[in-house]
Chain A
């Protein structure tokens, strides 16, 4: 029997980490992720985990310590937000390129400046090309579930990439909601042991990690790394299937909600999906059908699957909780539309909304503006503006 509990997204993340019982957790506190290592350090102090907790002096050091621990042959985890993630930047790429399946909780927060501690996705979106697998979570339950699946995905021999489990800072990280936890022994059996093929502490087979890689070999290693991300797609689905068997909760690359018979769709990440589903239900009751497509896996980007799912719609709003500053649209917009174009899915009309920056609240009335716009596009067969803002004072 699973355990019914109530806790915040941060605590749910820490509980998942407790059940995973990694060898090393190295972290530096930063709002709103601070509670994750804080909860975890109490588990260490109470002796309920075997982990070595490394209280480092910066996020650059936190991830560097994780790289060292993981290369040595251990499981290493960390948590951060916003500028903490930015300070890890250099090591993000090194962790991925060294094929070290470190797992990180990224509690999404706006990247300064202007200085802001509230939620948007500018931190993890900036790290989207660093080679990390990125899973996004609508609520505390998904943050917990994604965390439990992360090691299985990253450590798979065909993948060997670090994994970032994202959730919305404050909105889900600090909101206490009901949750269903899985028993410790079941989690332990599911996550399994980390058995790297090569590791630094293996005295029988000494190795060198992270050597200078010239023009003679670097390209081959990047090509190989890219294949890890390609392979991750299959592994993510296999792990989700196994997770379904122990939890009864089904996960895919994305969730399509109220899609049946809908001509319009909204695509988004993390907690706003909950608000959008609520409005979608309300519209459905009025006979107006609109689908909510919540992307769970952003890296690897499920381009083919998304394009296939989107071809049935007439109008699609792609929602970005971060600016791309490319003067053309946010990162999710450009990736979704390029996936559609490459697959020859050209009939849906697409619009982009930049929303919720710096923690600007996203209300049901905001979502209604988007839904109404989509119906207007379908009725008029015209898009007057592709690149838009939602909730900014004009």
Chain B
């Protein structure tokens, strides 16, 4: 029990509190698509150069439209699909290197999937599903089941009534609690939540979000929270990264990014959120059209065909992800000094 409720053992914390728990550098994944017989080989640029870091103990949100590469990024981090280029560092060690083999990394990182039904084996009792991971890592069956039951109790499912049930006998919210318990069974440090609450009813969603916040405190967890729901992200995340067509366009503290977005795409996403107050309705036009085809992304800034601030320079120059203030970085020429965009701030002369 003590291993469950106690803090994460300090000997796993290699680099100290200042070192990011996970660093993603230049992550690239292109999926090949066949274009007819003998045709030119095309690729879907699902993830095309993603950089970010997750600090220890924080919750980093990733938001973006469908198909922007959020879930692919999560699967790349977890090693469920192999990345083409880029580096993944977990607590300073490269994942898959000799110092941190994939198996060891996976014991410290777990994932909760969106579809609560598809992520549980229909022929297994829920305690069996939770106990599977620890058993793989050599915990004897009886102890693993015991641990599963105490975790079930911790996520709010009375073991005496639920432990021996099958997934179809549970509601969506209950199943997602089981999935969370399963993720915690291996005592991970990082939990990737891929749209983990998106499929739940609003009331159940709130319960599960509160549960996630409690568990984070109790088990010293770090979350990577992927969602398309900006309200949820605002509620749970410390920092937020906005993705568009396989790239991060803005990253910074959640309060700043969601209150004063620096990128026109983030602003458009926020304005597409219906407001509860009729007087507070924004007049900014919501985002028009669909994202461009990721097989053939537009040159220059990828957002320029849909952008309200588009100028000639946006069609040819790729905006770098530059800081607008120390914690807040954005990839937009209109925010970058000396970019040639008419709205760009004045270049500050270095002293």
A complexed with B? no
